[in-house]
Amino acid sequence: LQIAVFPNPSQSAIYISNVQKGQEILIYNTLGNCLFKTTSEESPFPVDITLLPEGVYIVRVDGIVAVRFIKTK
């Protein structure tokens, strides 16, 4: 499974492409804390990141695929 996160970096929302309906999507900070968890509905799947502080995050799909993204001001 090859997923992509765009735009990267982003201020308010990211889109996760190549996900299947029903896949678990988790967002972690660099300390390994899970900050967001949901189930995908469509591809590309939109995720609102406005409440996340500025920094680097990791998106995991079904616990195996990981992609980094950057949240900016």
* pLDDT tens string 7-64: 999 999 999 999 999 999 999 999 999 999 999 999 999 999 999 999 999 999 998 8
Phi, psi of 31 (to 5 degrees): -90, -5
CA distances from 66 to 4, 6, 20, 58, 73 (A): 9, 14, 15, 6, 23
Look at residue 1 in the predicted model and tell me its pLDDT. Answer: 66
Query: Per-residue pLDDT tens for 17-32?
Result: 999 999 999 999 999 9
**What band does 65 get if pLDDT is binned at 50, 70 and 90?**
confident
Question: Beta strand pairing status for 55-61 and 65-71?
Answer: antiparallel
